[in-house]
Amino acid sequence: MKKLIINADDFGYSRSVNYGIIDAHTDGVLTSTTLMTNMPGAEHAYQLGEKHKTLGIGVHLTLTCGKPILKNHHTLVDADGNFKKLYHYQKLFHIDTNELYAEWKAQIEAFLDSGLAPTHLDSHHHINNLEPILPVFLELAKEYKLPVRHNFKIKPEFGTLITTDHFEYNPEILLGDVNTIVEEYKEAQTIEIMCHPAYLDKSLMTGSSYATPRIEELAMLIHPDVKKKLQQHFQLMTYRELEKEEA
């Protein structure tokens, strides 16, 4: 039986995102999420995480949304003190990796200060898989002994990493029949499927380029047919269970 981690990015973005993720977990098949500790909804997300112990919660390391936790950066932010947008990193760019390490470490520490225990690490907009940034991501994963999202090519020199066999960017695969899903991942036993369920509010509509599709993803994750299919034919799990299996 194949094992699925169904992970919602952006926990902590806003209250509407938080509530959508919680409903996708309590009423649907969502097993996991990752939290943006620098965003306005982070404290609300911590509170919800404390109430919902079965939801695996990792850290969604952020470099392209909102403001940093630390205030002394000069290569990570624009003139207003906000993180630079994703387009800044799509061609040549300069980044002080010491600044990045300090900021991302602060984001992890903010999560730990909440009293929650993180299940794994990933990053907003998959910024971790860029060549100058990946070493910092891996350093922190090893420092905190955390599993990571498999959204980059794993090389022998990276050492031992706990991750899934496969990472899926498109949650629509969950609408396929059982045979379609099994065939899609015939080479993998453990798979993370990324999604972005949410209810909509003004901050999401004005701040995110990916807004209205989130309500469709939420509807899919709580749909009775999807629930029945996945619960009967796949093992739904979190990175916490994955780590225990690989220990």
Known binding positions for Mg(2+): 60, 124
Residue type for position 46: Y
Binding residues: 60, 124
CB atoms within 10 A of CB 236: 16
**Of 182, 192, 136, 194, residue with least CA distance to 162:** 192
For residue 212, CA distances in Å to 10, 85, 107, 162 come to 14, 20, 28, 33
CB contact at 8 A, 140 and 100: no
Alpha-carbon dihedral sign for residues 240, 175, 205, 194: positive
CB contact at 8 A, 55 and 22: yes
